[in-house]
A and B are shown apart, each in its own frame.
Chain A
Amino acid sequence: AQRVTQPEKLLSVFKGAPVELKCNYSYSGSPELFWYVQYSRQRLQLLLRHISRESIKGFTADLNKGETSFHLKKPFAQEEDSAMYYCALMAPGFQKLVFGTGTRLLVSP
């Protein structure tokens, strides 16, 4: 079965501090992994996907197949990063996303 685990419901940091949002997955093959973000009163949107290897808004995420993790990182958090972050997995051939339970990031001034 495919499962995505985000162990932290809430992550609270100060502006300028490093941020790491944890994501672990269970799937025996080679999934595609995503981070979606939902800012206050906005719709859910794609932040980044591992296959594109991009840095979006200063965020990066590295797929670690050995640890089955896809943690989201940013070296210096900004107040505008405060949002709900969801890690999601798509297994080849399944045509649908499996989401984690989400982590709320709160960046204080």
Chain B
Amino acid sequence: NAGVTQTPKFRVLKTGQSMTLLCAQDMNHEYMYWYRQDPGMGLRLIHYSVGEGTTAKGEVPDGYNVSRLKKQNFLLGLESAAPSQTSVYFCASSYGGFGEQFFGPGTRLTVL
């Protein structure tokens, strides 16, 4: 099992460009999450999903959109990237709402 994978690993964008980060899990988990990790801020929840076709806002959702068209995939989109979105993005999944969350390796995004 690959667990949770993220694509791409690194990306540099210019302000205003758009991109999509892909998270995939092969553990048949219902719940999936997107976090951003910034120095001194810890991990902050952007959006999450409790099942295929559902999404919900987390703590810092502005500037991001998500989709969960397939159970195993959770996409995070940036429509118009801003320097404030420079961060490391982590995806996670869990079987249930109270279960252990399994994390991906992260995507390092720089917005110039």
- B-binding residues in A (CB < 8 A): 6, 9, 32, 43-46, 49, 86, 90, 94-102
Q: A6's closest neighbor in chain B, by CB?
A: B42
A99–B105 CB distance below 8 A: no
**Which residue of B48, B92, B103, B104 contacts A95 across the interface (Cβ within 8 Å)?**
B48
A99–B40 CB distance below 8 A: no
Closest 9 CB pairs of A and B: A95-B97, A101-B42, A44-B103, A99-B43, A99-B42, A43-B103, A46-B100, A43-B105, A102-B42
Main secondary structure of the interface of A (DSSP, over half): loop
Nearest chain B CB to A3's CB is how many angstroms away?
11
Nearest chain B CB to A88's CB is how many angstroms away?
8
B50–A86 CB distance below 8 A: no
Q: B103's closest neighbor in chain A, by CB?
A: A44
A86–B42 CB distance below 8 A: yes
Q: Provide the B81-108 mask, 1 if CB < 8 A to any CB of A, else 0.
A: 0000000001010000110111111100
Which residues of A lie under 8 Å from residue B78 when comparing CB positions? none
Nearest chain A CB to B66's CB is how many angstroms away?
14
Nearest chain B CB to A32's CB is how many angstroms away?
6
**How far is A46 from B93 in the complex, measured between Cα atoms in Å?**
12
Those of B58-97 within 8 Å (CB) of chain A: 58-59, 90, 92, 97
A96–B42 CB distance below 8 A: no
**How far is A86 from B35 in the complex, measured between Cα atoms in Å?**
14
Q: B106's closest neighbor in chain A, by CB?
A: A43
Nearest chain A CB to B37's CB is how many angstroms away?
9
